[in-house]
Amino acid sequence: MRVFTSDFRDAANNRHPDPFPVHVLKRIDRPTSMILDEQVQRVDERESGFNRARRGDFGPRLKQEVGRFVPKHPVSGALSFMAGALAGVVDGKVAGSRAPLPDDPAAISRHIKEMAYFLRADMVGICRLPSYAVYSHTFADGKPVELNHKYAIAVLIDQDWKTYRGSTGHDWISAGQSFLSYSTTAFISCALAEYIRRLGYPARAHHARNYQVVVPPILLWSGLGEMCRIGDIVLNPFLGPRFKAGIVTTDLPLEVDKPIDFGLQDFCDKCGKCARECPSKSISHGNKVMYNGYEKWPNNVAKCTAMRVGNKHGSSCGTCIKVCPWNKPFTPFHRLVMWSMRNIPLARRFGIWGDDLMGYGKAEERYKWWYDLEEADGVMRVAPKGTDVEFYEPEEK
Ligand code: SF4
């Protein structure tokens, strides 16, 4: 016997659980940037920029800094500590019997999204888990990854827009912005995976301290954004690049979302503000290339990693996120502008020009609330002043 049937019928009504109007977005069959599914090779997590720095590929100084660039500021240190505390609870025992759920993947998807929103997610999307989105090996133990779940649920958490107003994007709060989202997505993905297991289906959470999957293809297929000029980053039409994602993979039968098209490939072609403002000049002003079966804008991973790990006047770097014209609050004015950017190609150049004219992308001192502190050799001190961009350059082998 099924319980709560009438509730599930209510949930099948046309109301939209999403806090953002995702139902107005144009849905398409494939992501707007090409993915040659047959040619994409699974990625080894040990080859990521941070892990190469950890291995010493970018020189001894960056090898030393990679262990402290997040915890050297107490905000990012505290938040990363919380994400780390959830590294060991990504998986667990599946209930011995299955809950009496409706025989309707669309209703279950809606319910799972409402559960994620109940847990304070900002946006949720679902796709089939592409086999190439599973790491070949993870950094944690270097063993081959075996993960055969059918579906991926992607949960986005916004960083803090107001804090970005006060930040240069490469100061002492930069890693704190990332780990605000990383720690929250860690909590939500672990709780959601545990919930699904209690319903009798396997599920595993993937978050910043324990990923077995590569996030960008999952976000593209689940309709949460398009590839952008920043590089291996997906940009969302309502949050811009100002978010991090946690993932739950599962065999719970779900209805999937479709990829979206909001004109970003054309917008990034015309814009290039992130490339202009990038402190380490890691972002390309040029055209997209094919890399490992993906069409994407190229970026200099060594330089970008060095800027984040070896930033001498801050903790990490998110300048590209800070300056992007899509990094805006969800106010009526910005909703109107974003609608125009999505729907009127001719308005895009005007929007890009207007973004600079309005002074967006500059740090506003009145919004700065954090202390510029740096932990060094076990002592928390006032961070040495320095406004110029300085970082330990990569010494590539
Ligand atoms: Fe695209 Fe401009 Fe944002 Fe860069 S700053 S990601 S070019 S929209």
CB 166 within 8 A of CB 158: no
Average pLDDT over residues 205-229: 98
pLDDT of the residue at 395: 86
Q: Which of 324, 328, 348 to mutate to test the pocket of ligand 1 (most atoms within 8 A of CB)?
A: 324
Q: Is the pLDDT of residue 1 over 90?
A: no
Atom 3 in ligand 1: residue holding the nearest Cα: 324
CB 266 within 8 A of CB 345: yes
What is the DSSP secondary-structure string of 304-340? HHHHHHSBTTSSS--HHHHH-TT-----HHHHHHHHH
CA distance 90 to 88: 6
CB 167 within 8 A of CB 73: no
360 Cβ closer than 6 Å to some ligand 1 atom = no
Average pLDDT over residues 265-284: 97
325 Cβ closer than 6 Å to some ligand 1 atom = yes
326 CA to middle of ligand 1, Å?
Answer: 8
Average pLDDT over residues 122-127: 98
pLDDT band at 396 (very low <50, low <70, confident <90, very high): low
Q: Share the mean pLDDT of the chain.
A: 94
278 Cβ closer than 6 Å to some ligand 1 atom = no
302 CA to middle of ligand 1, Å?
Answer: 20
Atom 1 in ligand 1: residue holding the nearest Cα: 268
pLDDT of the residue at 61: 95
Please state, for a pLDDT cut of 70, what percent of the chain lies above it.
95
Q: How many CB atoms lie within 10 A of CB 328?
A: 21
196 CA to middle of ligand 1, Å?
Answer: 37
Q: Is the pLDDT of residue 2 over 90?
A: no
Atom 5 in ligand 1: residue holding the nearest Cα: 324
236 CA to middle of ligand 1, Å?
Answer: 11
Mention every residue, 6+ apart, whose C-beta is less than 8 A from residue 234.
215, 216, 219, 220, 224, 225, 226, 227, 228, 241
230 CA to middle of ligand 1, Å?
Answer: 7
274 Cβ closer than 6 Å to some ligand 1 atom = yes
Q: Which of 164, 235, 243, 341 to mutate to test the pocket of ligand 1 (most atoms within 8 A of CB)?
A: 235
CB 234 within 8 A of CB 226: yes
pLDDT band at 10 (very low <50, low <70, confident <90, very high): very low
Higher pLDDT, 15 or 246: 246
272 Cβ closer than 6 Å to some ligand 1 atom = yes
Q: Is the pLDDT of residue 140 over 50?
A: yes
294 Cβ closer than 6 Å to some ligand 1 atom = no
Q: Is the pLDDT of residue 342 over 80?
A: yes
241 CA to middle of ligand 1, Å?
Answer: 9
151 CA to middle of ligand 1, Å?
Answer: 30
254 Cβ closer than 6 Å to some ligand 1 atom = no
The domain segmentation of the chain, as residue ranges, is 5-371
Length of the chain: 397
pLDDT of the residue at 180: 98
pTM: 0.94
Average pLDDT over residues 296-322: 97
Average pLDDT over residues 212-220: 98
Average pLDDT over residues 279-286: 97
pLDDT of the residue at 14: 60
CA distance 31 to 228: 12
228 Cβ closer than 6 Å to some ligand 1 atom = yes
* 343-385: pLDDT as tens digits: 999 999 999 999 999 999 999 999 999 999 999 999 999 998 8
